[in-house]
Amino acid sequence: MPMTKVSKVVGLLFSLFLLLAAQPAYAEEHSFEISEVDIDARIDGDGNMHVAEVDKYRFDGAFNGIIVDLNTSGSDGIDHFQAFEVTEEQNIPLRFEEASVDDNKVQYKIYAQSADETKLFRFTYSIKNVVQVYADTAELYWKFFDQTNPSKLGSVNIDVELPDGADPEEITAFGHGPLHGAVKIDNNGVVRYQVSPLPAEKMLEVRILFPGSYVPGSAKIDAASKLDQILEEERNWSADTDSADGADDASVYGALALLIANLAAGTILYIKFGKPLRPDWKGKYYRELPADVTPAVVSYLMKYRIKPRDLMATMADLVRKKHVDMKMIKGGGGWRDKTDYTFRLINKRTDELQPHETMLIDWFFGELGSSGQVSLSSIRRQAKTGAAAFLKRWSQWQAEVVKAVDQLDYISFRKWIPRFVILAVVVQFFGFWFLAPEDWRWLMFCSIPLLFFKPKRKRRTKLGQTEFTKWKAFKRFLHDYSQIASREPMAVHLWEHYFVYAIPLGEAKKMIAITRLNVPNADHDHTYFDNSIFYHYDHWAGSFDRTMATAHKSANSGDSDGSFSSGGGGGGGGGGRGAF
């Protein structure tokens, strides 16, 4: 950096320092602080949120009142706003004016003459339809303060109370804002957030996941399944980084040449290493199982990842193979809370099984169970108390599945290619940054488009692409079965076999619908797929999804019952506090 720029930067910083140093003398004559904010938010069965907030103000100088800014985005609006001054004897109602600042922001000016004193203010309001219900979870995603808040808050305590009967084991909580924030889930299901302090212009957002059955009257319903996506988003969130630099007309042609070179290199990389290979088979439907592989292998072939439901599909396949028996146990306290599923090892021979199937049997029956038997509720408890060990075994099992895929030569793993692309980008980027003349340094950003051509570390081989195409056609066959094969019902033994693959293919619900229409009930003495089990596939598979969520939550949060990150910002709500 030239000395002239250094001098300008130093001069600017010195001027700002003088300005900030002079500011407190003026501010002390007329200022206020908000030392405490306590918020109680109650969710009702219709997905509305009822808020009661108490703020502690310290006034230095004379003020006419306070300002409450609320943001209604992500909801259907605010009702029943009231404001009070809290004294030892009573809550005194206060006059206020409501004004809409824009489409979503509402400002309340609350009149209360104050001078050189400390006061407590209480305001209550209801927010309509704040809970979003998906197919596999309900979500409260709400900002109580956003970047428009002009005031520093000494401490903020937020208690979110879910509807009656909330089970803390079914609740997952996250917080977005300062990293020193804390989240805790009480035994009664109340989620407590604490941040001290909350700086001005900083966001404080809550995100709570819980069963949709808690809010049966919710009007915000989406049929999509979002639980896995939300959990993955929260695990991987990181703060955004800003990068910017100037531009100069003298380097435009150089930038154009570099862009063309990078685009050409990227195109060659994509054609040679990224473009899917041509399969040896084509067709709309594949009417039988394409290959004798396990459901977990199919899942990795289709999606390059292993999900918790793929493990349950593997367990269901072991039931079909007569190695394991599965039973549903109902209690007397309600289907949602009391229904459990037990697995019993009935065939200990593993010579015909794949290594990852044998590992699953050893894990569930040898480590988690006793006397050759284990239940989903027992697995969930052990996942919570021994989260680190549980997740380690889960990772080992995933790795064993990947090993099976590799042995089948379905997927090629090439780490060096994406690393080479990243290295090329880094060399260009930092080469221009440190070595190029100042007017040309902005060309370092021309290397970034090359990242969009970075091949994945995994690509299906020709055999893998062929099998992928067949399984995709088989998935289409299952999905369209009622239209293309409506004359005759599917044989029970085929349905049993197809169903375990329908789980990783995402067609399990469709298979259940086919069964209700066409497939006769199976013989209870020969298969577990009877009306008491497979109709409730979502329940036992969802139970293991929640088990994995519990393990991740316990492993990530340590002593806390939730987690805080500096990410977020996608929820509704927002606003700030002030005085006038």
Q: What is the pLDDT of residues 223-275, one digit of tens each?
A: 999 998 988 888 876 444 233 333 344 456 666 677 677 777 777 777 777 67
Do 317 and 204 fall into the same domain?
no
Given a cut of 90, is residue 297 above it in pLDDT?
yes
Q: Are residues 339 and 483 in the same domain?
A: yes
CA distance 71 to 89: 32
Q: Is residue 9 part of a domain?
A: no
Tallying the residues shown for the chain, one arrives at 580
Q: Mean pLDDT, to the nearest integer, of 463-470?
A: 89
Residue type, 181: G
**What residues make up the domain containing 111?**
30-238+559-579
Q: State the chain's mean pLDDT as an integer.
A: 80
The verdict on 430 and 375 lying in the same domain is: no
The closest of 56, 39, 42, 71 to 146, measured between CA atoms, is 71
8 A C-beta contact, residue 39 and residue 158: yes
Percent of the chain with pLDDT over 90: 32
Q: What pLDDT shows up at residue 514?
A: 66
Asked if residue 90 has pLDDT above 70, the reply is: yes
Q: Is the pLDDT at 2 greater than 50, yes or no?
A: no
Q: Do 254 and 151 belong to one domain?
A: no
Is 539 found in the same domain as 422? no
Phi and psi at residue 79, to the nearest 5°: -125, 155
Q: Are residues 215 and 321 in the same domain?
A: no
Q: CB of 580 within 8 A of CB of 197?
A: no
pTM above 0.85, yes or no: no
Closest by alpha carbon to 320, among 289, 346, 351, 359? 346
Residue 344 lies in a domain: yes
Alpha-carbon dihedral sign for residues 19, 23, 25, 29: positive
Tell me whether residue 526 is in a domain: yes
Place of tokens 């594949």: 286
pLDDT at 563: 58
Residue 189, pLDDT score? 86
Whether 348 is in a domain gets the answer yes
Rounded mean pLDDT of 406-410? 90
- Is the same domain home to 257 and 397? no
Window from 118-132, 193-207, 460-474, 508-522 with minimum mean pLDDT: 508-522
The whole-number pLDDT of residue 45 equals: 92
Question: Span 547-565, mean pLDDT?
Answer: 68
pLDDT at 233: 86
Residue 111 is predicted with a pLDDT of 94
Give mean pLDDT, residues 199-224.
Answer: 91
Q: For residue 206, what pLDDT is reported?
A: 93
pLDDT score of 325 more than 60? yes
Rounded average pLDDT over 475-501: 74
Q: How do residues 30-68 score in pLDDT, each as one tens digit?
A: 799 999 999 999 999 999 999 999 999 999 999 999 999
Count structural domains, the chain. Answer: 3
Q: Is residue 41 part of a domain?
A: yes
**pLDDT for the residue numbered 478:** 85
Q: Tell me: pLDDT of 7 over 70.
A: no
How large is the average pLDDT for residues 406-420?
80
C-beta separation of 75 from 128 below 8 A = yes
Question: Looking at residue 135, what is its pLDDT?
Answer: 92
**Closest Cα to residue 401, out of 346, 443, 438, 354?**
354
Residue 561 — pLDDT band, cuts 50, 70, 90?
A: low
CA distance 69 to 573: 10
Same-domain status, 78 and 206: yes
Identify the band that residue 145 occupies on the pLDDT scale cut at 50, 70 and 90.
very high
pLDDT interval class at 542 (50, 70, 90): confident
Using the predicted structure, report yes or no on whether residue 485 has a pLDDT greater than 80: no
pLDDT band at 533 (very low <50, low <70, confident <90, very high): low
Average pLDDT over residues 491-496: 70
| Whether the predicted pLDDT of 494 surpasses 80 | no
Distance CA 84, CA 66 (A): 11
For residues 408 and 481, state if they share a domain: yes
Domain co-membership, 174 together with 258:
no
**CA dist., res. 206 & res. 229, Å (int):** 17
Which residues is 325 bridged to in the sheet? 344
Ranges 226-240, 388-402, 431-445, most confident: 388-402
Instruction: Work out the pLDDT band at 83, boundaries 50, 70, 90.
Output: very high
Please report the pLDDT score of residue 49 as a whole number: 94
In a domain, 290, yes or no: no
In a domain, 286, yes or no: no
Residues 340, 331 contacting (CB under 8 angstroms): yes
Neighbours of 451 (CB within 10 A): 14
Residue 5 belongs to a domain: no
- The pLDDT, as a whole number, for residue 445 is 73
Residues 480 and 491 in one domain: yes
194, pLDDT greater than 80? yes
Output the domain CATH number for residue 222.
Answer: 2.60.40
| The one-letter amino acid at 200 | A
State the pLDDT at residue 285.
86
Q: Which two tokens stand for residue 42?
A: 């109650």
Residue 567 — very low, low, confident or very high, per pLDDT cuts 50/70/90?
A: low
pLDDT at 331: 64
Q: Are residues 230 and 257 in the same domain?
A: no
